[in-house]
Each structure stands twice: as structure tokens, then as C-alpha cells.
Structure 1
Amino acid sequence: MGAGTAAPDVELALWRGFRLSMQTAGCLALVSFVPGFLLRLVYPRWENRVVLGINAVLLALLSILYVASFPFYRQFHANFNQMIFTGANDDLYALFITMVQQYALPVRLAGALLLAWVLWRGLKALLACCRLEDFAEAMVWPRWARYLGRLAFLYVTYLAVLLGIFGGSLGWQTAVDWENAGVTKDDFLNEAILDNPQALYRAYNLNRRMLACNGLDFTTDDIRTLAAWLSHRQPDTDDLDVYLQKSAQGPAADKPKHVFVILSESFANWPLLDKYQGIPISYGMRSLIAEDDTDYCPTFLPNGASTVSAVTGVVTGFADANLYLTTMPEAFAAPYPTASAPQMQKLGYTTNFWYAGPATWERIGAFTQAQGFEHFYSRGDFGDVPGSVWGCEDEVLYEKVLEGLDPGQPSFNVLLNASNHSPYDLDLEAKGFDKEAVRDALPPEHQQDEELLKELGHYWYADRELAKFVRAVKEKCPDSLIVIVGDHGDRYNLDKTPTTYERYGIPFIITGKGIHKGTLLPDAAGSQIDIMPTIFELIAPKGFSYMSLGSSLTRTNRQGVNYGFWITRTAIGKADTVPLVPEPVTEGEEPVIDEDAMQNYINAIRSISWWRAKYGPILDASRLEDR
């Protein structure tokens, strides 16, 4: 819990959660009550067995969810959410191995089943000793008392049904549900208010909204107006591609022979902050940032909460907007005009996508090639190499990229590594990780957290291998441009209640020939859809026509937005609050934003990404009627 959380907040969370769980309890009671009631009418001998059997299954499921919610919260800082459905589209074998290796699945499952058995035995004893029929038969009731008792029972049942339907209330006006339950000022308590079935119900609803594309409530008129605002022109056409058209202002650096965009797994920005510089896990990037041919933007957001969002952002140029592009037929029909690979081909580059994992993950091989990448390389192309279920080790991936790099053939390369990912099973000692030095640098309350030390060790490894790769590329091909970003943050932090900035921020590092301090705007901020526009404005000749939704961090971009947040150089906040509530990026600074401009930017990025990816370039309102 946050430092400012007090007993009244805990009491409010308990009371709110108690009320909401009345709804869950009511639903679960119906599951056994209805078949039990019907059996009592037709075959009473089976009633008790069936009720106990149904409740055995329910208690087992509830116990498993309860035990699973602990590692889930540790990983995602939330009760069950939409990541459940994202995981269902992931590599299920790899997920299973991760749960076994990192989260001790057999032990946790055994503990959950033991808990379920204890609860079931308690339920069985309760039903055996508290039979209403036995109580009624033992008492001699006058007729009026029997009628009064029946009326009281019906009234209590009526109240219980209302409380179950309306989440601890007697009417919908004051009902508690998953959308309005989080009323405390503490994020942890707000998640704790939801019991596990309610959290799953939330995940189901959010996923359904995404699949139905009804999470975005924009009309074609709205999108036209926003697209015109974003492109600084009149809303005089229904063709979105006109608004996405840009012209390069002329190269800000010598055109490189090779361009690299490295999406580094779970590579958060917080270890690069000054307050954590004493922890020896980020020396590689710190030394790189200090070099004269490198510039760094510390206020940058991932495209989404998972790796696949980063991939779609860099590959297609669209923001995460309630669409799962790697599963959409539209994304496989032809490259989007904002796609990175075809536009880099226009500049004379061969396009390659390098992935540490299997080509089948999220259909990444088929997806990237459908979006114009000429070559796709994955773990299956590398032979029998060391790694985890998610992919080969970073050093192996970088070695394969260097082997395939032809200094004389211009190339554009997107790299996606995987080592800094659960189950965090690298042999860190063999890699040279000084765990005791990191332990000594941690605050005393974290020094015995072996899981955290393992996670920090994997960040150290990713950082070291990334720095080695950059040096190797510069040595082999000195005229290269390299962009480094995390695919996402939000996996582990030193602070158990991190600020929004420390939790979600990722670094944007650009290095290579022609880059210098000041290449990026001093107040630059952005997200992954701004990577390619930044590259185009750095290397493309004046007048080069390209298409993008984002904009360059070297020219105009001073804000970023993603699936749930926005950021500037001084402020960050959630994108779905009205009004927007800015939080400071740096403690003690006053977070100031232009509310109207930021809201327009959020809506423009979301609405255009949603419409263009799903419905094409023409704003035709009749398309919405077909949904």
C-alpha cells in the first residue's frame, strides 16, 4: 500500500469489497441452489450429493483463483485483468513452463486444492448440523407463527436477492460494480476490492469491448475533425491518408548505411534515473548515454502493456486502440501506408525483423512479413542455441544479427529480444552478475528479496549485452543509426508503490554517426509510434514523402500517448480521466499541461489508429452500422 494509506482507507476497501462480493456470492449460490431445488422436487435422495459436488468444484476454482492472484499481482500490479486474454493468445507452452519454473505451479496448485478440501469439509459439516428442516421439526409452532416465519423468510430472501443483484445495495442507483468499486486513493486497495470472479468479469468485459471495437465512441465527423487538427489543415476530405501524409524537412544527420530499432524486453527507464544510479545494473546504457554521439529522451511511453503492442506500434505505426492487429484479417491483406518496412524500402534499405523467440508467437512471422518486411528471422533459424521458452539469450540474438550484417548492403533491422522475461532462468552467476554488490546497493528492506535480485540481474544482463552489441555494430559498420527502446515497463520496480512515471516509462536512446547531444528536442516526449517519424526526419532527403500518425522527436513532438496514459517532459497521467490529472515526472516539479490540446491529441491518436486499421482510409459512417 502507498505510504499515505491509513486505516480508514482499509476499512472503506473492506466494506466496498464486502458489498461487491454479495453479487458474486449470489451468483455462486444460484449455481448449486437451482439444481438442488429441482432435485428436491423429483429425486430428493440425490440433492445433497449434487449440491456438495457442485460446491466442491466451485471451491476448487475459487481457491485456485485466489492462489493465482498473488503472482499475477506481483507481475502486473493488478488483480486479474485483460492480460488474461492477451495470455490466451500467447505461447501456451511457454506460459506453462514459466508458471512451473518461476511461480512453482505444482506447489501452488497443491496448496489451492488443499485449501478447497478444507473449505469443502467445513461446508459439509455446516450443512449436516444446520438443517432447517430438523430445526423446524424440533419446535412446536402455532399456525400464526408458522405463517409469520414463512413471511419473514420470504422477506429476508427478497432482501438477499436484491443485495446480490445490486452489489450490496437495494437498487441500481447505489449499486456497486467493478467499474465504480475503486473509491480509495490507493491503487492496491482498489484492486483488492474486486474479488477474483469480479476481476475476471472485468477482464471479460474489457476484452469483449476490444473485440467489438465499442470501447472507442468516435463518429466519422469526430475523426475527420481530429485528423485535421493533428495535421494542421482544414477538415476538407474523408480520406484519412491525406491527413497522415508528411514531407521530410531534410536530413538532420548523414544518411546511415544501417538502421537498427531495438525493442528490448521489459527494459524500463527507472533504473536509468539518477536516484537509482548507485545500483549497478544499468552501467551499459548509462555509459552509452554519456557518449557524444548519443542522445536520450527519458519521457517515453510504450505502445501498450505487452510486447505485441510494441511490435504493432513499430511495424504499423498505429497506437494500441482496442484492436489486436496480429489476429485481424485487415492487417494481413496488405501493409498499411504507415507501415515502417515499405517506407524504409523507398529509402533504399533491405528490411529485416529479428526475433529471439519462435515465429509462431502472436503470428509475428506472418504478421511482420504481411506488413512488408522482406526477411524474418527467429529462433528456428538460429539452430540449437541456449535460451528460455520465450527465446534465445540476448547475446545469441545479437551474434546472429552481426553475422547476417553485410556492411555494403543498406539495411533496416528491427530486433526483439527476450532474456529479460520470466521465468528469469539465466545462469546469472555464470554470466558474471555480482549479486552481492547489487544486494549491498539496495535499501535494507529489499536486500533479502531473492526474487527481486534475480529480476534485477536479468535487467543487468540485458543492459550489458545491449551495450556490447551497440559497440560491435559501430565497430563493424560505423555509419549506423541505432534506436533503443523498451518494449514495455511495468513488470518490476524497486519501489513497491512506484509513481506512474517510474512504473510505465521506457527509455528512448538514439546513437550513431551524426547524432549529438541536442539532436532531440530538449523537451521531447513521445511513444513508440513516434520512432519511425523521428528516423525519417533524421535521414530522409528534403521533400521525401512519408506517412505516419506520430511525429518526430527532433522536430515537433513534445507529448506521447498510449493505451492508457499520456506524457510530457514534466507531467504524466491517465488518459481516461475527466479532467486529466497530471502527476509530476520529477518529484517537486509543478505538472502543467494544456488540457484541451492534450485531450485532442489523445482522441486523435486513438480514433485514427482505430478507424484506419479496422475500416480503411475513407471515413464512411455506414461502416459503423455494420458493426
Structure 2
Amino acid sequence: MLVAPLICALFRLAFILTYAPDKSPVNHMRKWWHCFRYGFWWGMDFNAYVFLYGLVLVSLPGAFFPDYYALGDTVRLVGLLIYLAVIYTAFMGKMIFYYHFHDIYNVTIKLGGKADKKNLLDIFFNQNHGLAIFLGYVPYLWLCSKLINWLLGWPLIDCPVFGEGWQQYGFNALVVIGAGVLFYWIRYGGTLNHRNKPEFDEVPDVVKNDVFFGKAVIDDLVSFELACKSNVSEALTHDDETSSRIMQPLLGRTVTSSDNPLAFFKRAAQGAKISKPSHIFFLLGESHAQAGLDSLYADLHLMDASKRFREEAHTLSIDNFLSAGMTSRPSLVSLLTGIYDANLELNERELFWNKTVPSAMPLQMKKLGYRTEFWYGGGLTHGSMQHFVPKTGFDVCHAGPDFCGKDAPQTWLGVYDHVFLEKAADIIAKSDEGPTFHFLYTTSNHGPWNMPFEKYGFDVDKIMPGIPKALKKDRKMMRRLAAAWYADRALMKFVETMREKFPDSLFIVTGDHTSGLIPYQYELVPRREPNFRESMLTTFAIHHPELMPDMLAGNTIGGHMNIMPTIMELIVPKGDEYYSLFPSLTEPISHVVTPMCWMTKDVLGQYDSGIAQTLQVSAEMLPVNRDDVRFASEREAICEVTGWMVRHPELMVDRD
């Protein structure tokens, strides 16, 4: 079993020595050690199956059939050589891929299906030494067979023999069970807890902070699997002529290869409606969901703090609000860049680690004279944020574990919300940096919801006295509800603290996406599943001492991508220009379109399923309309804009 990870380690070394900017381990031994250590365990995602292969196809049947046992070593040898040939193929493919794309396997490999096959073969044989790679299988597999046979020649450990039959059967059963447990322990990277299984977010910072070693740590088959699981946006497969045709309904004109489509979304502000605030606080709450605010679930009291905030005279809110992404990262990326991520994982693209787009929110806030600061409750290495976020225009990026201290209580995602926000508030209150835009992103309202919520004030009998007794006894569900209550209260406490210190501040409160929040199985409503609004809508509220109800033009719908232009139209002088693909909430909004959903004032629909449902708050399950897809051309166009920017890196701009 150890032959496969050994070969993977040697291939990792060859990759480093071939492509690493700094090939010397001198003064970098800790980085090298963790790269190979973590890579070994992560590689067991595949390599552990060598152990399972030998156990299931050789050891167990060989124990019953002596003739087959005699062939056991041959079966092991052949099977392992086939697997090692696959590893060799994946490694050589990775070396070629990196040569052309300066990256390990990524979603681009799926584009090969539409490539000119003759051209690919020409490149393979004439540019990438294809013949030598094919001939290399022979010495490679010969050396591997020698190593395998040498290991198979080691002395065996005799299995103990017991006098009593029941003792022998019991011992044999323990051996088999132990072998199964050992397989899972190896398969999950030295743990039996699936949640702790190696993955990119958990790569040691000393490795991940080095862009190249952050790629070298991933075994080739693991990298290939991750790339295959990623979805390719069709926008990357289009030529410029096709893209121009798709974007035409949105742009109102055709574009050429030298055009930047974002240039056609430069808007002139209509004139400030409020005094320019000294501080702007953009609060992005993890899983801050509209369902918790709906009147149907008032007895749960999940988001009473937000309800009180929304009832204030100068707080405006919209109850039908779409997230820019169904998961955290696409929502964050879309909000910061001003273009939809559209499943292109912009945060993982080196292009966006060096430059950004003119529509980026923090970049545009800097041009208004604001210092820009990003605050995250977790580590910035999650989702390559340490590379991506600063380039969108932030002057400073703060990670909760850094400024809250190593002893600060935290989940696997980040520091507890109240600790994170209280410490951030304290630092902000003591700073004197002039006008500042603060973007704060929390983490606590996320599975497995195992914080000590009672310690932080959650008492189910006092907070939720009217809920069913059976629900109170469901400890897992109660932790989930407690997390929503706790996170909402922490957000609003931060707002109150900052408002006391900076009373002229502008506050925006929204969620990254919704969550499966409501325990329908306890008959809170006469249905066992959510209506669309409960599974898709996040929250939105905005506050400033000069905000008046008519300033949002009576809008009852909106989305993440309407927030940035709304800020601009509220504070920017008349005639000043800014970039936004989408209109401000200060003007009437007829519909909202994201890559996943569409919404009018009455109906909410999904693109993938083609199903739509009315937006009303209803205790009953609302009927659905099938094959109801609207604004499809607009959806294609907004995704195409993102694809165009990725395909045309020369159109990107420096954050400064």
C-alpha cells in the first residue's frame, strides 16, 4: 500500500523541482514538510483503495481458497501496477497542463471536449514530448514492479491459532473489523471523523500562503477529481462573436474583442440623498435568512433583534431579496466584484489575485475617498481569500483568529460571532483613519452548530415559550435555531455599538444566502417542506439617520447586486460616475435575475428546475408552475459578461 503514496511524493518532488519559483528547501523546511505531510494524507483519498483492493480481492478470499492464495502476490502486483500507471498518466497530464495554463488541473480540462483533437495531438507529440512520455511507461512500471516484489518478499507475520473454535472465530472477526476501521482511518487522512477529512481549506497556512506550494500539495488524482466535479460556465467556451451576440440584449449593442463590456455600464449618479457618512458598515451574516423574519414563524423568535432594527424610523428593508449565490463563496465574490461569479470560482483564479474589475465595490469606495477594510471571522486562507479579497480594493484585511487572539473561542469556520464583532468594534472605535468602508463577514451560524449557546444567553423556555414540546427535546434542531438567534443578536449588537460611536454611519445588513432553518416536521405550519421564498431569500436592511421610506422607490424586491449602486445613489454627488451592471434600489425594480433564480414582484423561479411559485407568505404549500423560465436571455448575458472578463485579462485593472 505504501508504494502508491511514495510514488506520489516523488512526483510531487519532481513537480516542485520543475516548476517552483524557489526550488530550495533552505530556510523553508517547515513549508516543505507540511506540503509533503499533508499531501500524503490527502492523497489517501485514492491511495487507501490499494489497501482495500488487497484486503477484499486477495486476503479474504485467499483465507478460504489455498490455490487462490498462491496467486495472491501476482494479483496484488498486477492490480497495483495498473493503478500506478494511472498515477503516472495523471502526473504527466498535470505537468503538461501546468506548462500551458500555469495551474494544476482545473475546470478548464472540461473544455477539451470541444477542442480540435488533431491540434491537441500535434501539441502533445511535438511540443510536450508525447512519444517520450509513452515510452516512459516501460522503465517506470519495471522499476515499480521491482519495488513491489521486494516488499512482497518481506517475512509475513503469522496469524495466532487458538485451541477453541469460538476463540479463533472471535479473533478472526476482530481482525476483519479492525482492517475495515483501518481502511476508513487511512481513507479519511488519519481520522475517523469525516468532517476532519483533508481538503483545501484545511491545508496548513504555511503551505497555502505560498501560491505554488498550495498547488503542489494536492495529489494529481485528487486534483483531477476536484476539476471534474466543477461546473464549466458555457461563457468560457464561446468566441468573442458569440459572446457579443449573447450580451447584445443587455448591452443594447455589439462589442468587439477590444471592448470592455463593463464600460457600457458606467452610470451617472442622480444626486446624493443623504449626507456622506463618515463610516459605512456592510454586514454579511452567515445564513441570515428571510424565513426567520416571516410572520409565520414569530413563535420561534429567531431574529427578534433584526425585527426591532427594521421597525426603526430610519431603517428600510425589503422582504423579497435574492442572494448573488446559493453558497457563501459565490455570494461574497459577486458582491465584491460587482459581476456574478457564475460558477467560475473567480476567487480561485490567479487572474483575480493580481487585478480586479472596474465594478468592484471596495475599489469604487476607495475612489470616493473611503479607507476600505475587510473583516472576516475565519481565516483568510479559506477560499483563497488572502489572495483574492485584497485585490478587489481593500486597504486592510483582518482575520478573526489573528486580531481576536489564539485563545478566542471558535468553530471550525471562525471566531464566535459576538467575540469577533465585539473585538472588531473595539478596534474600529479606537481608530482614527477618516472616512472608512467596513465589510464584515460572520461565520457562526453554520453547521454543526455545536457552540455553547446557553452560555451566551439562549434559554429556550424564555425565548421560545410557545414552540411544541417535541421541538424543545430535539437537541440538534434546537442548536440550529439557537445559532440563528445568537448570530442575529450579535449582528444587531454590533450595529448598536457602532451607531453610538459613529451616529452618522450607513449600515447595510444582509446574508450570504439562506439556510434550511425552519423545523417543518414539528407542524409549525401545515406542510413539511419550504415554499420557494423560504429556501431562496436572504435578508436586506439599510439604515442611516436621514433615510426616509420613499428613498427606495417603494421596491418590494431586490438582490445583492442592487446594493452597491444603491450606496452610490444615496451618497454620491450628481453627475459623478460609477460602474454597475444593475440598477439602484432608489429607482423602481421590475425584476431580479441571478445565475440561479429570477424574481418579479409576484413570482420567484429557478432556472435549473424551470419551476416557479408565487412570493406570498403562506402557511399552506403554494402551487408551482412548471416550465416557467423568464429573463433567460438576460441571465445568459450577465453570465457572459463574467466569462468575457475571464477570457480577456487585459481588461482587468489594478486595485490602486
What aligned pairs does 1:163-562 form with structure 2 within 5 A after superposition? 208=228, 210=230, 212-214=232-234, 218-231=238-251, 233-235=252-254, 237-238=256-257, 239=259, 240-379=261-400, 380-383=402-405, 384-403=407-426, 404-405=428-429, 406=431, 409-438=434-463, 440-443=465-468, 446-495=471-520, 497-562=529-594
C-alpha spacing 1:417/1:381, structure 2 compared with 1 (3 Å): same
Q: Distance in 1 between matches of 2:264 and 2:367?
A: 20
DSSP 3-state at the match of 2:356: coil
Q: 1:48 offset after TM fit, Å? A: 7.9
TM-score relative to the length of structure 2? 0.62
Could you list the per-position Cα deviations for residues 292-324 of structure 1 after superposition, in whole angstroms to 9, with x for gaps in the alignment?
A: 101111122222233222221222112131211
Q: Distance in 2 between matches of 1:322 and 1:554?
A: 29
Code of the residue aligned with 2:69 in structure 1: it is R
Q: Distance in 2 between matches of 1:499 and 1:205?
A: 35
8 Å Cα contact 1:251/1:537 also seen in 2: yes
Q: Distance in 2 between matches of 1:610 and 1:234?
A: 18
Equivalent residue in structure 2 for 1:91, among 193, 202, 206: 202
DSSP 3-state at the match of 2:543: strand
8 Å Cα contact 1:271/1:281 also seen in 2: yes
DSSP 3-state at the match of 1:303: coil
DSSP 3-state at the match of 1:572: strand
C-alpha spacing 1:313/1:236, structure 2 compared with 1 (3 Å): closer
Q: 1:35 offset after TM fit, Å? A: 7.5
Q: Distance in 2 between matches of 1:64 and 1:582?
A: 43
C-alpha spacing 1:557/1:464, structure 2 compared with 1 (3 Å): same
Q: Distance in 1 between matches of 2:373 and 2:491?
A: 18
8 Å Cα contact 1:259/1:412 also seen in 2: yes
DSSP 3-state at the match of 1:229: helix
Q: Distance in 2 between matches of 1:541 and 1:296?
A: 24
8 Å Cα contact 2:376/2:441 also seen in 1: yes
Q: Distance in 1 between matches of 2:378 and 2:314?
A: 31
Q: Distance in 2 between matches of 1:596 and 1:392?
A: 41
TM-score relative to the length of structure 1? 0.65
8 Å Cα contact 1:251/1:541 also seen in 2: yes
Equivalent residue in structure 2 for 1:583, among 592, 599, 613: 613
C-alpha spacing 1:407/1:472, structure 2 compared with 1 (3 Å): farther
C-alpha spacing 1:51/1:486, structure 2 compared with 1 (3 Å): farther
Partner of 2:69: 45
8 Å Cα contact 1:570/1:591 also seen in 2: no
Code of the residue aligned with 2:389 in structure 1: it is T
Q: Distance in 2 between matches of 1:89 and 1:522?
A: 44
Q: 1:539 offset after TM fit, Å? A: 1.3
Q: 1:329 offset after TM fit, Å? A: 0.9
Code of the residue aligned with 1:409 in structure 2: it is G
Partner of 2:104: none
Q: Distance in 2 between matches of 1:330 and 1:488?
A: 26
Q: Distance in 1 between matches of 2:649 and 2:366?
A: 22
Q: Distance in 2 between matches of 1:47 and 1:585?
A: 67
Q: Distance in 1 between matches of 2:285 and 2:418?
A: 12
DSSP 3-state at the match of 1:604: helix
- Aligned sequence identity (%): 27
Q: 1:617 offset after TM fit, Å? A: 6.8
Gapped regions of structure 1 (runs ≥ 5): 1-30, 69-79, 95-202, 620-627
DSSP 3-state at the match of 2:340: coil
Q: Distance in 1 between matches of 2:70 and 2:462?
A: 65
Q: 1:453 offset after TM fit, Å? A: 0.8
Q: Distance in 1 between matches of 2:307 and 2:389?
A: 32
Q: 1:543 offset after TM fit, Å? A: 1.6
DSSP 3-state at the match of 1:541: coil
C-alpha spacing 1:451/1:593, structure 2 compared with 1 (3 Å): closer
Instruction: Name the stretch that deviates more: 252-261 or 434-443.
Output: 434-443
8 Å Cα contact 2:269/2:574 also seen in 1: yes
8 Å Cα contact 1:299/1:524 also seen in 2: yes
Code of the residue aligned with 1:435 in structure 2: it is V
Q: Matched residue pairs, number? A: 464
Code of the residue aligned with 1:450 in structure 2: it is R
Equivalent residue in structure 2 for 1:607, among 635, 640, 655: 640
What aligned pairs does 1:133-144 form with structure 2 within 5 A after superposition? none
Could you list the per-position Cα deviations for residues 181-234 of structure 1 after superposition, in whole angstroms to 9, with x for gaps in the alignment?
A: xxxxxxxxxxxxxxxxxxxxxx99895374654586655344324434324x33
8 Å Cα contact 1:355/1:377 also seen in 2: yes
What aligned pairs does 1:609-624 form with structure 2 within 5 A after superposition? 609-616=642-649
Q: Distance in 1 between matches of 2:650 and 2:274?
A: 33
Could you list the per-position Cα deviations for residues 486-515 of structure 1 after superposition, in whole angstroms to 9, with x for gaps in the alignment?
A: 112124332252222201210011111222
Q: Distance in 2 between matches of 1:212 and 1:599?
A: 18
DSSP 3-state at the match of 1:277: helix
What aligned pairs does 1:21-100 form with structure 2 within 5 A after superposition? 44-46=68-70, 88-91=199-202
Q: Distance in 1 between matches of 2:285 and 2:298?
A: 20
Q: Distance in 2 between matches of 1:392 and 1:376?
A: 15
Q: 1:465 offset after TM fit, Å? A: 1.6
Q: 1:576 offset after TM fit, Å? A: 2.7
Q: 1:241 offset after TM fit, Å? A: 2.5
8 Å Cα contact 1:262/1:415 also seen in 2: yes
Q: 1:548 offset after TM fit, Å? A: 2.2
C-alpha spacing 1:304/1:93, structure 2 compared with 1 (3 Å): farther
